[in-house]
Structure formats: C-alpha cells, structure tokens
Copies of this chain bind each other. A is one copy, B any other.
Amino acid sequence: MKLSKSVWQTYKEVPAEAEIPSHQLMIRAGLIHKLGSGLYSYMPFAIKVIRKIEKIIREEHEKIDSQEILMNVVTPAELWKESGRWDKMGDLMLKFPDKAEKELCISPTNEEAVTDIFRKSVKSYKNLPVSMYQINTKFRDEIRPRFGLMRAREFTMKDAYTFHMDKECMDKGYAAFKGAYEAIFTRIGFKFSAVEADAGDMGSEDSQTHEFQVIADTGEDLIIYSEEGNYAANVEKAKTKRASLEFDKTGGALKEVATPNMATITDVCQFMKKPEYQSIKSLVYTISKEGEEETVLLQLLGDDELNELKLKNALGADSVTPTLEHKLKELSLPKGFIGAVNLPSKIRVIFDGAVDIEAFYVTGAMKVDVHFENFCPKRDVQNFEVLDLRLAKKGDVTEDGKYTVDEKRGIEVGHIFQLGDKYTKAMNVAILDQNGKTKSPLMGCYGIGVTRVMAAAIEQNHDENGIIWPKAIAPFDVYFALIGKSEEIKNTANDIYEDLKASGLEVLFDDRKAGPGFKFKDSDLLGLPLRVVLGERDFNEKGTLEIVNRRTGEKSFVKKEDLVNEVQKKLKAL
C-alpha cells in the first residue's frame, strides 16, 4: 500500500483520558478513532491487524472441527427470560423496546441464542458433540469505559460453544479448546499464561475454567504463579498457603492496652512491637442470600487480605459487601477497634484458616482507642467457624508446600468455561441418549476478546517510540521509506516496492513528500517489524539500502539485488 493513497494520520498529543500505552499508542498511531464514550472505529491499519487475528482464530477453530456461524447482535428478551438471565445480567446489558414495544437487547454474550439454535438443529446423541463459534460485535454498557479498547463498550469477540452428552465428552472438548487457545496465542506471539479462574455465575462448582492472561505490567488481573511448580491462577481463585510462620504460643491473660488514635494494623503493631501477622484483622461484612441479610465478623491474620470471592462461594451468598459505617454504629461496632471478644451475640464469627487458633494475637478490644494483647481465639471466643478466606499473595507456597509463588499482572484475552447443563436445562433442551432416555446436554463456552487482543499485543510490545507489532499480526511486514526527490530515485523506489510485493511481502510504502525524521518517527510509532530505507545519497554513493529491526534497532546495509532475500531472511528470524 502506498501511503500517498492512504487515509493515515498520526498524532503527537493524546487525550488525557488515555492512561495506558495501548490506548495512547493506538490513538497516536492513527489506528482507532473515538466516535463516542467507549465507542471506537477502526482505521485501515487496525483492520489489517484484526483480520490477521481473526484468520489465526478461524484456522485453529477449523482444526478442532468448530464451525463458524453468526448470531445476532440484537436479541429478543424472550430468550433471556427463558434462561432466567433477563433480570440477572445487570445493567451492563443494554436493553430497549423496538417499535412494536417488544423488548430487545444488544447481546453481551450468546449462550441463549446458541442453545436456541442447538435445540432446533440437533435431536439425537448421534450428532453430538457439536461445536460452533462466531466472531461478532458485542456491547457492554460500562458506565465509565476506560483504557481504550481494553474496556470499550462496543468490541469484537469470538465466542464458541460446545454441546456434549456427558462429562467425559465435555472434558475432551474443553481440552481441545484449551489446546486451540494455546496455539492461537502462541501464533500471535504472546507471552501468556493459562491460569485457573473462577467460574463466577457461569458454571457449577466442579466445572473447569481457565483464563488466558497476557503478561503485562498494566494488566488489570493479578496472577499467582510458580514456574517450577507449574502453577498459575487468578489471585481470586489461587489456592496457596502461607509460608510457615512462628506464632506466639506463650501469651498470658487477655490484657487491654491503650492505643489512642491507632486504628490501623500497621500503627498498632508498630506500637506493640509485634509483626503484623501476630495481630488479627477484623472485617465486618454484610452477606446477602436469597433476599436475607446477615452480618459477619471475619478474622484474618493482620497482614492478609480478604478474598471476597472465597467468602461469597463459601457462604453460597448472592453478594458480600463491607458493612457500611452507619450500620456499624447501629451495631455498636467501633471502627478500627473491633474484635471477636465482647461481640453482640447475633454476629457470626469466621476465622480464616491461616489463623492458628491456639496462638496469641493483638486484636481490637471493642472500645475506641483500646486493643487487646494476648487474644487467643480458641480460649477467648465461644462460637466461631473456620473457613479459607484469605487472598493468595507473593511469598505464599503452593498447596503441597513445595514451591514459593510469585505475582505478575495479566490482561485477560481469553476465557474458557465448562457450563454444564445450566442453559440446556433452563431452556428445556432434551436429547435422546443411546438408551432412549432424554438428557440435557452439557455445554462449554470459550471466548476471545478479538479487539482486546490487539490492545494487549501493544501493552506487551512497545517502547518509548511506539508500537512493536508481533510479526504474525503486524498490519504490514515492512515499512519502506523513500528518502529522495529525483525522478530517478522515485522510479527505483517503485521498482523495489513492486519487487518486495511480488515476493509475497506486505509492504507499506512511504512515498509521501516528507523528510527522514518525519518518516522514521511515523515508522517507529506504527511499529512494523522491519523498516527498509532507500536513501538517495547512500544509494547513489554505495548502492545500498538500510534494513532496521524495529524491536532491536539493529541496522544492516544491503545491495538492491540482495534486498528481497535479506528482508525475507530477517523476517523469518524474528
């Protein structure tokens, strides 16, 4: 493509709202255009990236016999009501009436639609397993869309769905998709981890689910991992233990200590000259379950954090939220000085499993500005439960105690779930099995954020000058810049451009009337793997062109007749 014939504009400035590199660089490199809040249009070079991502996705789906379909962007409420999700999806789902006053929505996901297709098209176990996918526009009505394509409202997603007669078949299908996803993200050129995740509302408890996380400092997700232990999980889901701690087991009687204005663990432990893990952190939570609310007091080691998801799952709650201050006052709980001793009896007390209930701790004394020393849970609290509540963190060890785990940040670009029979049951899908009995098939679902993949690739591959595209999804292979004005050199440039193209390379030919500084800046910003420069002076004096590797900056000079071969070689070596 010749730049003189292209609609391409780069920018020096970015709007203040562009906080992360991919957002900034996509705006600066003229890849996206903001049409409205969380609404981005894709410019020609971004389209080329998207098409390459889609091609890789399609090829890997074909390999595992998944068939492409296309469901609707707009779906009718009836389907969502059948599954019971019309009211449960929350307000990320954009709903509206049509002209005939029928309720519609823009699909944020398509389990209902695909189940409707399945029940119409498949009647016998002989036709299972079935695997279908689509690449389509999705919409989530984020109230504060952020980070450009990372958390846009309108985005492109690949979503796949499988149907199986039994768990064994679902596991096999799941493994095939896990393999396909690994192939896709490897081909794209990502450093990524498949991490254990939480199925949330999507699946049942024993169902497998993995997130595919692209490793990047700006990632929104925290991953707990051990390279040697071959372990990786989203922090929400991570099962680790604390490395062994020396607890104080020799404390005496419970003793009040004045701690004026010391309402934080750090302040109190510094004052008491104790390590933070020898204190108890008291958290008061409101648990909602089937319309009923309950207040619980959570007791964790002072330097641990609560994993709300563990709490929610352990109690089978619909939601868990920190109890509001006015409610604490109502319950006579003095914020900053709460503890399990002298607690109103109606409050349920739950200790985290990492607390040694026979050890002695600092804890709140239920009076403003007062803490206890020598609090021993087993001795001092009458009724309590023990549950696993703490958030995993760096320095923990794997469940078998063998490996210490570390933390890294990730961007979720894919997520695979075993859904079980949740949707087929709710939507009355019945298939006859070998024995003539009807059964609700088991489902798997598998998503990739196509446009987010593009942004994640930039988060993982950029420097201060711009994007560095992984070869497989770069909009072009080569940025070919002509620096020169004579008719002769222009003709030579044109010949070279045609030669490069004829050899199968995708070439962006910068034939604009502009100087080298301008062109090289644009070239670095756009980040194609290789830059080839035809400089009039060098070419006339030495007969050479320059090849620059965008990632390493490495330069080499080649004769015109060797150019195509050299470029091909360097590209292959990337």
Interface residues of A (CB under 8 A from B): 5-9, 30, 33, 35-37, 39-44, 46-47, 50, 65, 67-76, 78-79, 91, 94, 96, 98-100, 102, 104, 106, 113, 116-118, 120-123, 127, 130, 132, 136-137, 139, 141, 143, 153-154
Which residues in B have their C-beta under 8 angstroms from that of A136?
A: 137
- Closest B residue to A102 using CB positions: B37
User: Can you spell out 11 A-B residue pairs with CB atoms less than 8 angstroms apart?
Assistant: A5-B65, A9-B121, A35-B71, A36-B104, A39-B75, A42-B70, A73-B139, A74-B153, A74-B154, A99-B143, A100-B143
- Closest B residue to A68 using CB positions: B47
Checking B43, B75, B137 against A69 with a beta-carbon cut-off of 8 angstroms, the contacting residue is B43
A-B pairs with the 6 shortest C-beta distances?
A96-B96, A36-B76, A44-B67, A42-B70, A9-B121, A41-B71
Q: A36-B76, A73-B154, A74-B153 known; 9 other A-B pairs, CB under 8 Å?
A: A5-B65, A7-B132, A33-B120, A35-B72, A35-B117, A41-B69, A44-B132, A73-B137, A74-B94
- A511 CB to nearest chain B CB (Å): 13
Query: With A7-B121, A96-B94 in contact, do A39 and B76 touch (Cβ < 8 Å)?
Result: yes
Query: Are A43 and B76 within 8 A (Cβ)?
Result: no
Query: Are B91 and A121 within 8 A (Cβ)?
Result: no
Q: Chain copies in the assembly? A: 2
* Interchain CA distance A68-B48 in the complex, whole Å: 8
Which residues in B have their C-beta under 8 angstroms from that of A96?
A: 94, 96
Which residues in B have their C-beta under 8 angstroms from that of A106?
A: 73-74, 106
* Interchain CA distance A139-B91 in the complex, whole Å: 22
Query: Are A35 and B79 within 8 A (Cβ)?
Result: yes
Query: Are A36 and B78 within 8 A (Cβ)?
Result: yes
Query: Are A73 and B73 within 8 A (Cβ)?
Result: yes
- A433 CB to nearest chain B CB (Å): 18
Query: With A91-B99, A98-B94, A130-B7 in contact, do A40 and B72 touch (Cβ < 8 Å)?
Result: yes
Checking B33, B67, B70, B99 against A6 with a beta-carbon cut-off of 8 angstroms, the contacting residue is B67
Query: Are B39 and A72 within 8 A (Cβ)?
Result: yes
Query: Are A50 and B36 within 8 A (Cβ)?
Result: no
- A166 CB to nearest chain B CB (Å): 18
Query: Are B44 and A99 within 8 A (Cβ)?
Result: no
- Closest B residue to A36 using CB positions: B76
- Closest B residue to A132 using CB positions: B7
Which residues in B have their C-beta under 8 angstroms from that of A75?
A: 35-36, 39
- A74 CB to nearest chain B CB (Å): 6
Query: With A75-B36, A122-B9, A132-B44 in contact, do A70 and B98 touch (Cβ < 8 Å)?
Result: no
Which residues in B have their C-beta under 8 angstroms from that of A36?
A: 72, 75-76, 78-79, 104
